[in-house]
C-alpha cells in the first residue's frame, strides 16, 4: 500500500466518494515545481492564465489589431465584446500584455509558493515571439537577444528562488503585445482531468517469478483543433519518443476539499496515435523497454546479490533494491546468454524472492518492501537477537528463574563457551524484580499496582527488596528506509510478558505508543494506525512470573493486512478459480565440468582492424580456458566469460586477420530433488540454471511448494483505489463471515473522472 492519510482511507471507504483527479506528465517530472508557480502582470482582458503552468497551447488565438498579427485562414477567433453583461464564454488561454511592447516593456512576475531551484525554463510565446528579453532572480540577469524561435529554452542557473521577473523589450513585429501560452521549468507535457478522456494503469507480478512483472499505462486525450495530429507541426505528440518518461499522479479530494496525490513513475512511451477526436499514448515499465542480452556469466563462485547487481548495472539501471539475503546464497553456475530481464527473473527465483516493480518505477528483488532490518537491544544474554526474524525452532537453556526449571521439559544446560550457543532467540540479560516489573517501570508507581489505591508508601516497601540495578529490556527494530505498516506479531519464548509497549519512531521522534496489559498469550498480534516509520521499539515492562528474563522467539511485520476489501468495494461477486492439485515438484540442480582437451570453439575473419578497438567473439555454449590464435599480428585477451571473449590487437601488418578461439567446452550433469505435496495431481518440473547444489534445490522446492499449496485465486471488479499495489497482503471479505488473507497479484486502475479497478488475489488462508 502507498502511504495515505487517515482522512483518505476513511473517505475512500464511504458509499459516496469525492472527486477524483489525474495528472499525466510526459518528460522530466517537474509537476511539483509547476504546481507552486503563479504569474502576474498588467494583462489584457482577453487573457486566461489558468493553463500556463499546465502545458497551455496556442490553439485559441483572438485576432486583435496588432502589426502583422491577423492572418486569414489561420483559425483566429474574432474577439467577443467585453461590455458589461456580455463577458466572453471562451478566453484565450495565455498571458496577453495590456500594452503594446513598443510603447511599454512587458514586465511579468513569476512567483512560487515556496523556494524552488530553477535551472531551465521553456517558454511558448506563439508565432509572435519576443526577440529581446531578460529574466532576473533579483540579483543575476539572464539576457536573451535576437531570438527567432516561438518556443524558447532558457538554460541558466537561477539558483533557489521564490520569484523571477521576465522583462520583454522587443517583439518579432514591433507594434504587438506579448503572449505567453505556457511556461515549463523543464521540457514536459502535462494533462489533467479536462484533457483526459480515459486512462488505465495495469500491474502484475508472480510470487514465484513464473512471469516477469509488468506495468502498463494507457491514456486517451482530447484532440481539439488537430492539436495531436502528427501532421500538425505544433502537435505535442511530435515531442514524444520511446525515451520519454511518463509519470502519473492520481488525486483524491478529501472531505476538507484538499487534494491528496499519489505518484506512479518510471514509465516510458512506446507508441501513440490520434484520430479526429482523441489521441492515445501507451507507456510501459523499464524492464519492457530495455532489450539487452547478458553475456557476462562465469564459472566463478559468486553471490546472487553480486549477480543481480552486475546484470542491473549492465542494463544501465541505477535505481534498484536487492535484498541482503541474496548475499548469503552463492552459485558457481553461469548465467545463461539470455535477455537481461530474464536473468533477473531466474536470480530472484533461485533466491526465493520476488522480482518486482515499485510504484516509483524502480526494480526490486526482495519481499514485500525495499528495506533491510537492523536489530539492537540493551542486553542479549546469548547473542542470538537476529534469529527472532526467522520463524524456526528455538531452544531453551536452563536458568535460575522462578517457576522455570522443570524436570523432563527439554531444557538444555548452557555450554561453557559462548561460541557454542545454539539458536535460543532473544533472552534479556536482566531478570524482572520480585514484583515481576523491571526497574525502568518503577518510576510510575500508580500505574504499577492500582490495587494499592495510590498508597505509595506501601508500594515502595513492597518493591524495596527488588534488585535496583536491573534495566528495562528493549529491542529496537530499525529499517534502512521508512516503511508503512499496520501491525506486528510477537511470539514469546518460555517466559511471557504481561505488560509491554510498542513504540513507533520516525527521524528520531516518537510518533505513537501502543501499550499491552494483562497479556498471558505466547503469540500476540498488535494492530495500530498505519504510520510511515523507520524504527519500532519493543519495551518490556513486566513478566507474568517474577524474577524471569524476557524471551522472544519471533518477530514479524504484518504487512498491509490491516487493509480490507469489503463487499461494498467490489462491483459484483468475486470469482474463485481453483488451482490444479500438484502431486510433486521436481527441481533439478546442475554441475558443470570442463572438457579434458582443448578444441576449436570459434573462428572469425576480421577486416579493417584498428589497434584501439576491442573485439568480441561469442560462444553458443558455456566454455572456459580461452586461447587465441591469429593468422596475422598478435592479440591479448581483455575480458572473458562463459559465453564471450574480448580481445585487442597488439600489432598487425595489414588490416585483415583470421582469429581462432581455442578453449574447453563444459558439459552439464543433472540431479533432481523431489518435493511431494499430495498423493495425486500434476507433476511440476521447475528448472533454474543457477541451482548448483542439493541444498539450493531443496530451498527452491520448499519455496515453490508454498505457492503450489495455495487453493486458488479470486478476481473481481472494484471501485478502484490508487493506494493499492501488487504484492500487498490484505484482508478480503468472504461470504462465510471470515475474512481471508490474500496476496494481490494483478491490479488495474481505471480513471475517466472517477476510479474503477480489476483485482486478482491469491488465497493465502483465513486472516
Report which secondary-structure segment, H or E, holds 600: strand 599-606
Q: What is the mean pLDDT of residues 526-530?
A: 72
Decide if pLDDT at 441 tops 70.
no
What is the CB-side half-sphere exposure of residue 741 using CA atoms within 13 A? Answer: 11
Question: What is d(CA 527, CA 514) in angstroms, rounded to the nearest whole number?
Answer: 9
Q: Give the pLDDT score at 175.
A: 84
In which band, very low, low, confident or very high, does the pLDDT at 402 lie, cut at 50, 70 and 90?
low
- Three-state DSSP state, 746: strand
Question: What is d(CA 128, CA 504) in angstroms, rounded to the nearest whole number?
Answer: 59
Q: Give the pLDDT score at 126.
A: 83
pLDDT digits (tens, 9 = 90+) for 244-284: 889 999 999 999 999 999 999 989 999 988 888 899 999 99
Mean pLDDT check: name the lowest of 37-41, 146-150, 465-469.
465-469
Residue 340, C-beta contacts closer than 8 angstroms, at least 6 positions apart? 290, 292, 293, 294, 311, 314, 315
pLDDT digits (tens, 9 = 90+) for 284-310: 999 999 999 999 999 999 999 999 999
Question: What is d(CA 222, CA 248) in angstroms, rounded to the nearest whole number?
Answer: 17
Where are the domains positioned within the chain? 31-185, 193-250+257-287, 290-366, 373-392+425-557, 590-671
Q: Give the pLDDT score at 88.
A: 47
Does the domain at 373-392+425-557 match CATH 3.40.50.2300? Answer given as no
In which band, very low, low, confident or very high, does the pLDDT at 415 lie, cut at 50, 70 and 90?
confident
Q: Which of 320-334, 407-421, 456-470 has the highest mean pLDDT?
A: 320-334
Q: Give the pLDDT score at 71.
A: 58
Domains 31-185 and 290-366 agree in fold = no
Q: What is the mean pLDDT of residues 690-707?
A: 96
Decide if pLDDT at 133 tops 90.
yes
Q: Give the pLDDT score at 217.
A: 97
CATH architecture of 290-366: 3-Layer(bab) Sandwich (3.55)
The cell 491577423 sits on which residue?
A: 70
User: What are the two backbone dihedrals, phi and then psi, of residue 512, each rounded to the nearest 5 degrees?
Assistant: -170, 155
Does the domain at 31-185 match CATH 2.60.120.260? Answer given as yes
Residue 697 or 120, more confident: 697
- Three-state DSSP state, 526: strand
Q: Give the pLDDT score at 447.
A: 43
How far separated are the first and last CA of the chain, in Å rounded?
17
In 17-119, which residue ranges form alpha helices assigned H by DSSP? Answer: 31-35
Question: What is d(CA 585, CA 227) in angstroms, rounded to the nearest whole number?
Answer: 57
pLDDT digits (tens, 9 = 90+) for 588-632: 999 999 999 999 999 999 999 999 999 999 999 999 999 999 999
Q: Give the pLDDT score at 359.
A: 86
Q: Are strands 245-253 and 259-274 parallel, antiparallel or unpaired?
A: antiparallel
Residue 362 or 30, more confident: 362
Q: Give the pLDDT score at 382.
A: 87
Q: Which residues pair with 249 in a beta bridge?
A: 23, 263
DSSP string, 148-210: --SEEEEEEEEEEEEEEEEEEEEESSSS---EE-EEESSSEEEEEGGGEEEEEEEEE--TT-S
Mean pLDDT check: name the lowest of 60-69, 328-337, 629-638.
60-69
Q: What is the mean pLDDT of residues 660-665?
A: 96
Burial of 730 (0-12, 13-18, 19+ CB in 10 A): buried
Mean pLDDT check: name the lowest of 528-542, 558-572, 698-712.
558-572
Q: Give the pLDDT score at 446.
A: 41
Decide if pLDDT at 577 tops 80.
yes
Percent of the chain exceeding pLDDT 70 equals 86
Cell of 604: 572469425
Q: Give the pLDDT score at 404.
A: 64
Q: What is the mean pLDDT of residues 539-552?
A: 91
- Three-state DSSP state, 96: strand
Closest CA to 238 of 248, 249, 226: 226
Q: Are strands 623-630 and 549-557 parallel, antiparallel or unpaired?
A: unpaired
Residue 453 or 37, more confident: 37
In which band, very low, low, confident or very high, does the pLDDT at 448 lie, cut at 50, 70 and 90?
very low
Q: What's the whole-number average pLDDT of the chain?
A: 86
In which band, very low, low, confident or very high, does the pLDDT at 129 lie, cut at 50, 70 and 90?
very high
Q: What is the mean pLDDT of residues 22-29?
A: 82
Considering only the C-alpha atoms of the chain, give the largest distance between any 2 of them, rounded to a whole number of Å. 105
Q: Give the pLDDT score at 321.
A: 86
pLDDT digits (tens, 9 = 90+) for 51-89: 888 765 545 566 666 766 655 444 555 566 555 454 444
Q: Contact 749/757 with Cβ under 8 angstroms?
A: yes
Q: Which of 147-156, 463-472, 483-492 has the highest mean pLDDT?
A: 147-156
Cα-Cα-Cα-Cα dihedral sign, residues 273, 279, 284, 286: positive
Residue 406 or 483, more confident: 483
Mean pLDDT check: name the lowest of 223-237, 297-311, 547-561.
223-237
Decide if pLDDT at 406 tops 90.
no
Percent of the chain exceeding pLDDT 90 equals 55
Q: Give the pLDDT score at 92.
A: 56
**Would you state the torsion angle of the CA atoms of residues 144, 146, 151, 156, taken in this order, to the nearest 10 degrees?**
-20
Residue 678 or 558, more confident: 678
Q: Contact 579/677 with Cβ under 8 angstroms?
A: no
Decide if pLDDT at 572 tops 80.
yes
Question: What is d(CA 557, CA 504) in angstroms, rounded to the nearest whole number?
Answer: 13
Neighbours of 578 (CB within 10 A): 9
Amino acid at each position: 500500500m502507498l502511504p495515505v492519510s487517515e482522512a483518505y482511507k476513511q473517505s475512500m471507504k464511504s458509499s459516496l466518494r469525492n472527486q477524483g483527479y489525474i495528472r499525466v506528465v510526459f518528460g522530466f517530472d517537474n509537476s511539483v515545481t509547476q504546481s507552486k508557480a503563479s504569474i502576474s502582470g498588467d494583462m489584457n482582458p482577453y487573457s486566461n492564465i489558468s493553463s500556463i503552468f499546465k502545458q497551455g497551447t496556442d490553439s485559441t488565438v483572438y485576432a486583435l489589431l496588432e502589426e502583422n498579427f491577423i492572418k486569414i485562414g489561420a483559425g483566429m477567433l474574432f474577439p467577443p465584446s467585453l461590455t458589461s453583461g456580455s463577458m466572453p464564454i471562451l478566453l484565450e488561454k495565455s498571458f496577453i500584455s495590456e500594452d503594446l511592447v513598443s510603447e511599454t516593456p512587458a514586465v511579468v512576475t513569476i512567483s512560487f509558493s515556496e523556494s524552488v531551484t530553477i535551472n531551465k525554463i521553456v517558454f511558448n510565446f506563439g508565432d509572435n515571439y519576443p526577440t529581446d528579453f531578460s529574466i532576473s532572480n533579483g540579483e543575476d540577469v539572464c539576457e536573451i537577444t535576437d531570438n527567432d524561435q516561438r518556443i524558447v529554452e532558457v538554460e541558466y542557473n537561477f539558483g533557489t528562488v521564490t520569484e523571477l521577473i521576465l522583462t520583454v523589450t522587443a517583439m518579432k513585429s514591433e507594434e504587438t503585445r506579448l503572449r505567453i501560452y505556457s511556461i515549463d521549468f523543464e521540457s514536459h507535457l502535462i494533462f489533467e482531468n479536462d484533457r483526459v478522456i480515459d486512462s488505465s494503469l495495469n500491474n502484475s507480478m508472480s510470487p514465484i517469478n513464473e512471469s516477469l512483472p509488468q506495468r502498463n499505462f494507457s491514456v486517451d486525450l482530447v484532440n481539439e483543433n488537430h492539436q495531436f495530429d502528427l501532421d500538425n507541426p505544433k502537435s505535442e505528440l511530435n515531442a514524444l519518443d520511446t525515451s520519454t518518461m511518463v509519470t502519473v499522479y492520481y488525486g483524491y479530494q478529501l472531505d476538507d476539499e484538499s487534494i491528496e496525490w499519489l505518484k506512479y513513475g518510471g514509465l516510458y512511451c512506446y507508441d501513440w496515435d490520434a484520430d479526429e477526436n482523441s489521441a492515445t499514448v501507451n507507456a510501459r515499465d523499464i524492464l519492457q523497454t530495455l532489450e539487452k542480452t547478458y553475456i557476462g556469466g562465469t564459472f566463478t563462485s559468486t553471490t546472487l546479490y553480486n549477480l543481480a547487481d552486475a546484470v542491473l548495472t549492465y542494463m544501465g539501471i541505477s535505481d534498484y533494491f536487492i535484498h541482503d539475503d541474496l548475499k548469503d546464497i552463492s552459485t558457481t553456475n553461469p548465467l545463461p546468454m539470455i535477455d537481461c530481464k530474464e536473468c533477473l527473473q531466474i536470480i530472484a527465483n533461485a533466491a526465493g524472492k520476488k522480482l518486482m516493480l515499485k510504484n516509483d518505477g524502480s526494480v526490486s528483488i526482495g519481499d514485500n518492501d525495499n528495506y533491510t532490518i537492523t536489530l539492537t537491544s540493551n542486553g542479549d544474554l546469548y547473542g542470538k537477537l537476529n534469529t527472532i526474524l526467522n520463524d524456526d525452532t528455538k531452544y531453551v537453556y536452563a536458568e535460575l528463574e522462578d517457576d522455570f526449571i522443570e524436570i523432563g521439559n527439554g531444557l538444555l544446560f548452557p555450554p561453557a563457551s559462548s561460541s557454542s550457543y545454539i539458536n535460543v532467540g532473544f533472552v534479556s540479560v536482566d531478570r524482572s524484580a520480585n514484583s515481576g516489573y523491571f526497574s525502568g517501570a518503577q518510576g510510575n508507581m500508580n500505574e504499577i499496582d492500582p490495587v494499592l489505591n495510590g498508597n505509595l508508601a506501601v508500594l515502595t516497601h513492597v518493591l524495596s527488596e527488588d534488585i535496583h540495578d536491573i534495566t528495562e529490556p528493549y529491542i529496537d527494530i530499525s529499517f534502512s528506509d521508512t516503511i508503512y505498516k499496520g501491525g506486528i506479531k510477537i511470539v514469546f519464548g518460555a517466559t511471557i510478558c504481561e505488560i509491554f509497549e510498542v513504540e513507533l519512531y520516525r527521524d528520531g521522534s516518537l510518533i505513537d505508543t501502543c501499550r499491552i496489559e494483562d497479556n498471558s498469550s505466547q503469540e500476540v498480534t498488535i494492530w495500530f494506525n498505519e504510520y510511515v516509520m523507520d524504527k519500532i521499539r519493543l519495551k518490556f515492562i513486566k513478566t507474568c512470573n517474577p524474577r524471569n528474563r524476557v524471551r522472544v522467539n519471533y518477530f514479524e511485520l504484518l504487512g498491509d493486512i490491516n487493509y480490507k476489501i469489503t463487499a461494498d468495494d467490489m462491483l459484483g461477486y468475486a470469482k474463485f478459480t481453483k488451482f490444479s492439485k500438484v502431486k510433486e515438484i521436481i527441481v533439478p540442480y546442475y554441475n558443470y565440468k570442463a572438457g579434458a582437451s582443448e578444441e576449436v570453439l570459434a573462428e572469425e575473419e576480421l577486416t579493417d582492424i584498428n589497434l584501439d578497438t576491442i573485439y568480441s567473439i561469442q560462444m553458443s555454449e558455456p566454455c572456459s580456458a580461452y586461447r587465441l590464435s591469429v593468422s596475422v599480428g598478435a592479440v591479448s585477451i581483455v575480458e572473458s566469460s562463459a559465453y564471450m571473449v574480448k580481445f585487442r590487437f597488439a600489432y598487425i601488418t595489414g588490416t585483415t586477420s583470421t582469429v581462432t578461439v581455442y578453449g574447453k567446452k563444459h558439459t552439464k550433469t543433472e540431479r533432481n530433488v523431489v518435493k511431494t505435496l499430495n498423493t495425486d495431481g500434476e507433476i511440476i518440473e521447475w528448472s533454474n540454471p543457477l541451482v548448483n547444489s542439493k541444498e539450493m534445490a531443496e530451498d527452491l522446492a520448499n519455496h515453490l511448494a508454498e505457492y503450489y499449496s495455495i487453493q486458488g485465486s479470486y478476481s473481481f471488479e472494484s471501485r478502484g483505489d490508487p493506494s493499492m499495489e501488487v504484492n500487498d497482503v490484505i484482508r478480503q471479505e468472504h461470504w462465510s463471515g471470515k475474512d481471508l488473507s490474500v496476496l494481490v497479484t494483478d491490479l488495474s486502475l481505471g480513471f475517466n473522472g472517477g476510479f474503477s479497478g480489476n483485482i486478482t488475489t491469491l488465497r493465502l488462508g483465513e486472516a
